[in-house]
Amino acid sequence: MSEIFSWLRKAENEKRTSVAGVPAPRIQVSEAPDFAGVSPDPEVNLPVKHPASERLEIQKGGWFDLGAADPRIRKVLDPLSVVGEHYRLLRAKLSQMQKQNGIKTLLVTSSIPAEGKTFTACCLAGVFAQEFGRRVLLIDADLRKPRAEYELGIDRAGRPDGLSQVLRGEKVAEQVLLSSGKSDFFLLPSGPVPEDPAELLSSPSLELTIQRMSQAFDWVVIDSPPVMALADASLIAPLCDATLLVVRAEKTPSKLVKESIERIGRNRICGLLLNRSRRAKASNYYYHYYHRDRRS
């Protein structure tokens, strides 16, 4: 972990760059994570097959169009995009962890607001779903200022039913899942903003919901509020197999990152993602070399 902080301090002095306006992430993943509290039961943690008879029923009209998502997300999901390769590299690293440690539920959070955690969660869930046979769920667990629906282009005028109602017992998760239609990418929206978000997130209903969804999906990606400002992320982290901490280059002080890791628990952090960092020119050169003829 000390190597991560050395790398982070160095990154604070770098200039921010992007390709076509899309932040390019730099990935630092723990080499030997100790996932304390993860159930060793392979029936819970290992990927499972989903025959048609076991697929969750989606309510009528429960769809969203990825074509209406933020253009930056669509750029990441483009199989030939340069920035998309960075997220596919992250997917490969996390998939290897899944094989080794059985992780399926991944919390995505940050130390402070505006670091790109929701954008990262949406992109990561999207690239997970691009793998053949993978069924992926994104849960918007930010019950205070939800943004996943907005990032994915869902009309917020009539906020869809979602997690807050599930936690209150007013809805069943299967009834409020939204499907992207073209892939096995599903969204459990946050639902109406409640008056007592911390109380809802600390209820046993959240753990039961995450457990049930982890049995029905190959990956469950959970977006939560920032760590330092609220208790929400600290309540959700123990219910997940691992946590990915998003850090914005040149903005997030390393002290806050350290405090966030301590608050969540070092053994629960599977890695850091440095958002909007400078990327190596060599990787761009080789990428364009191998893909330049495919667009012609």
What CATH number corresponds to the domain at position 20?
3.40.50.300
Dihedral angle computed from the Cα positions of residues 271, 232, 70 and 279, in that order, rounded to the nearest 10 degrees: -20
Q: Which residues of the chain have pLDDT under 70?
A: 1-61, 156-159, 182, 276-296
Q: What is the pLDDT of residue 251?
A: 83
Strand bridging mode 269-275 / 26-29:
antiparallel
Q: What is the DSSP string of 209-269?
A: HHHHHHHH-SEEEEE---TTT-SHHHHHGGGSSEEEEEEETTTS-HHHHHHHHHHH-GGGE
Element holding 91 (H helix, E strand): helix 82-101
Angle, helix 254-264 to helix 2-11, in steps of 10 degrees: 150
pLDDT of residue 28: 54
Range of the domain at 10: 2-31+59-291
Tell me if 235 is assigned to some domain: yes
Q: 38 lies in a domain? A: no
Q: Kindly provide the residue ranges of all beta strands, DSSP E only, lying in the chain, ordered along the sequence.
A: 18-19, 22-23, 26-29, 105-110, 136-140, 178-179, 185-188, 219-223, 242-248, 269-275
CA separation for the pair 30, 28 (Å, rounded): 7
In a domain? residue 53: no
* Contact (Cβ atoms closer than 8 angstroms) between residue 188 and residue 73: no
Distance between CA atoms of 214 and 38, rounded to whole angstroms? 13
Domain for residue 126, yes or no? yes
Residue with tokens 């483009």: 78
Residue at 37 is within a domain = no
Instruction: Kindly state whether residue 51 falls inside one of the protein's structural domains.
Output: no
In a domain, 210, yes or no: yes
Is 296 among the domain residues?
Answer: no
Local structure of residue 57 (DSSP, 8 states): P
Give the chain's domain count.
1
Confidence (pLDDT) at 155: 73
Q: What is the pTM of this model?
A: 0.79
